[in-house]
Amino acid sequence: MEMPPHEVCYRALATRDVRFDGRLFVGVKTTGIYCRPICPARPAKPQNCVFFPSAAAAQGAGFRPCLRCRPEISPDAAAWRGTSSTVSRALALIAEGGFDGEESVGALASRLGVGERQLRRLFDKHLGAPPIAVAQTRRILFAKQLIQDSELPMSAVAQASGFGSIRRFNDAFRKLYGRPPRELRVRKAMHTSAVSVRLGYRPPYDWDAILAFLAARAVEGVELVEPRLYARTVEIAGEFGSVAISPGRTHLEAAIRFPNVGALLGIVGRLRRLFDLDADVEAIGAHLSGDASLAPLVAKRPGLRTPGGWDGFELAVRAMLGQQISVAAARKLAGRLVARTSPVLSPDVTGDERLRSVFPTAARVAAADLSSVGMPSARIEALQGLARAAAGDPDLLGPAGPYEESVARLLALPGFGPWTAQYWALRALRDSDAFPAVDVALLRSPVVAQKGKRPTPKALLARAEAWRPWRAYAAQHLWAHDGEPAHD
């Protein structure tokens, strides 16, 4: 990957510029350690610094992670966003456990629809490291985080971070840190069954805006929203648990309850996508501010993110339920669907008696009698058609497929129109350029009006060309400025 000039990188290090956190890492030749640019340690001399685009690239060059600035809680590298959708999709699969280093790079490339050689070339260009190095670095840094931030036993940490055995786990730590993992543990009086994990981001972060967005759509029993808390139930491979997120000064704090610690790394990946933690909001804001109409909106909400979703199927169902009705009405329909399909969860599982249901899987929706949910029969058949398709093809609503192909597959299903598919892509695929141009709220926004008249979808698309590759964030700014979307 082409890095900024050495003097620019060093200036960011010398000033501890938070804007570069996650975008570059510095290796110090005299110590053999690599750091974040915001490390509190005194910067080394310029001639002793080597800069890398990712933690994996720094470790591949033989540097070991700093114990002071903790690269494991740095925002994920975001330099590829808007540049390579293939790398974006690959990182999403790695983050959610779709590639653990044991699976061949060829299999990962096949899921992405590209050749193995092409995938390696793209990773080298954008991250400076091959896919297996990125996956291995993610595993060991996640293990380091669990060692310091949780009370999990070492065997559970090894399992949660994807190591096949405790021996491999210990060997990896001795090789990288020069000491056994137990020596990195900081004893804390936590005494909780939840695993605490810090989720780093590059500030600013508009917590109030993302919480308001999620609160408007929260389904009773599945989600819980309070001023400084978002919690929800989760289901993975037939096992149940919950996650609770609260804001910190420079990170979000996640409390995860789940019986299978092997799912923790994937859960963290989903949470990062749900809360859009890897966005480079400064770069996005600078680009969108080139439009005089959007500039005041960006200035008002410099940390605005585009909320993602917990699960692709869940978001597709929510989008279908919300077609041509209000957000509140869609929320009620989702509540009825959950009530007719969800098992009742114990507070021992979720940690809160108010969290008692889970959003249904594709298999449960396909098999359920939905006649009493309160929807037209055609909508019910379309919903269950989606469920049958998703149950038969696990990758149908996942992050593996190219954006255009994923949208095309959805449009081929009954009940999916342009708005539904684009809105789903914006949130489920985390596509920064997805843009539901037929959205009623966007079309009636005074910000995009021309001489007081609403634009047509075609005219709005033409206007939005200047916002690429960040049209999804432009839509979020318009929604936040004018109120919530007309439907969801």
DSSP per residue, 100-169? -SSS-HHHHHHHHTS-HHHHHHHHHHHHSS-HHHHHHHHHHHHHHHHHHH----HHHHHHHTT-SSHHHH
- Across the range 13-42, mean pLDDT stands at 93
> So what's the pLDDT on residue 84?
63
Q: Does residue 370 carry a pLDDT above 70?
A: yes
DSSP letter assigned to residue 450: B
Q: Would you call 439 a catalytic residue per the annotation?
A: yes
Distance from the Cα of residue 338 to its chain's centroid: 24
Segment 34-46, tens digit of pLDDT: 999 999 999 999 9
Taken in order 271, 273, 275, 278, the sign of the CA dihedral is positive
> So what's the pLDDT on residue 488?
58
Give the percent of the chain with pLDDT over 70: 93
Across 29-38, 227-236, 331-340, 442-451, least confident range = 442-451
What are the extents of the domains in the chain? 6-72, 85-184, 195-258+270-300
> So what's the pLDDT on residue 484?
60
pLDDT band at 79 (very low <50, low <70, confident <90, very high): very low
- Could you give the CA distance from residue 393 to residue 146 in angstroms, rounded to a whole number? 33
- Could you give the CA distance from residue 437 to residue 423 in angstroms, rounded to a whole number? 10
φ, ψ of residue 130 to 5 degrees: the values are -75, 165
Q: What is the mean pLDDT of the chain?
A: 89
Residues near 145 by beta carbon (within 8 Å), at least 6 away in sequence: 70, 72, 73, 197, 198
Pairing between strand 239-247 and 33-35? Answer: unpaired
- Among the listed residues 35, 39, 66, 69, the single catalytic one is 35
- Could you give the CA distance from residue 274 to residue 96 in angstroms, rounded to a whole number? 12
First to last CA, the chain: 38
Q: Does residue 436 carry a pLDDT above 60?
A: yes
Q: Does residue 227 carry a pLDDT above 60?
A: yes
> So what's the pLDDT on residue 83?
52
> So what's the pLDDT on residue 148?
87
Q: Residue 400 in 3-state DSSP? A: coil
435-455 residues labelled b (16+ CB within 10 A) or e (exposed): bbbbbebbbebeebeeeeeeb
> So what's the pLDDT on residue 295?
96
Give the percent of the chain with pLDDT over 90: 59
The residue among 488, 481, 448, 487 whose CA lies nearest residue 466 is 448
Q: Do domains 85-184 and 195-258+270-300 have the same CATH topology?
A: no
- Could you give the CA distance from residue 432 to residue 168 in angstroms, rounded to a whole number? 38
Q: Does residue 154 carry a pLDDT above 80?
A: yes
- Across the range 347-373, mean pLDDT stands at 94
Q: Does residue 188 carry a pLDDT above 70?
A: no
- Among the listed residues 100, 280, 439, 488, the single catalytic one is 439
> So what's the pLDDT on residue 429?
84
Q: Does residue 464 carry a pLDDT above 90?
A: yes
> So what's the pLDDT on residue 78?
47
> So what's the pLDDT on residue 210?
94
Instruction: Report the amino acid identity of residue 87.
Output: V
pLDDT band at 82 (very low <50, low <70, confident <90, very high): very low
> So what's the pLDDT on residue 324?
74
pLDDT band at 104 (very low <50, low <70, confident <90, very high): confident
> So what's the pLDDT on residue 280?
87
- Could you give the CA distance from residue 367 to residue 289 in angstroms, rounded to a whole number? 48
Yes or no: say if 113 and 451 are a contact pair by the CB < 8 Å rule: no
φ, ψ of residue 233 to 5 degrees: the values are -85, 155
Across 22-36, 212-226, 319-333, least confident range = 319-333
Tokens 């390696």 sit at which residue?
120
Looking at CATH, the fold of the domain delimited by 6-72 is given as DNA Methylphosphotriester Repair Domain (3.40.10)
Segment 377-429, tens digit of pLDDT: 999 999 999 999 999 987 788 776 667 788 888 888 888 888 888 889 889 88
> So what's the pLDDT on residue 402?
67
- Across the range 204-227, mean pLDDT stands at 95
Q: Does residue 98 carry a pLDDT above 80?
A: no
> So what's the pLDDT on residue 62?
94
Instruction: Report the amino acid identity of residue 164.
Output: G
DSSP letter assigned to residue 81: T
At 335, list the tokens. 């509540």
**Architecture of the domain defined by 85-184:** Orthogonal Bundle (1.10)
Q: Would you call 35 a catalytic residue per the annotation?
A: yes
**Architecture of the domain defined by 195-258+270-300:** 2-Layer Sandwich (3.30)
List the strands of the sheet with 49-52, edge to edge.
49-52, 25-28, 33-35, 64-65
- Across the range 109-113, mean pLDDT stands at 84
Segment 300-327, tens digit of pLDDT: 999 999 999 999 999 999 999 988 788 8
Q: Does residue 31 carry a pLDDT above 70?
A: yes
- Could you give the CA distance from residue 447 to residue 465 in angstroms, rounded to a whole number? 16
- Across the range 442-469, mean pLDDT stands at 90
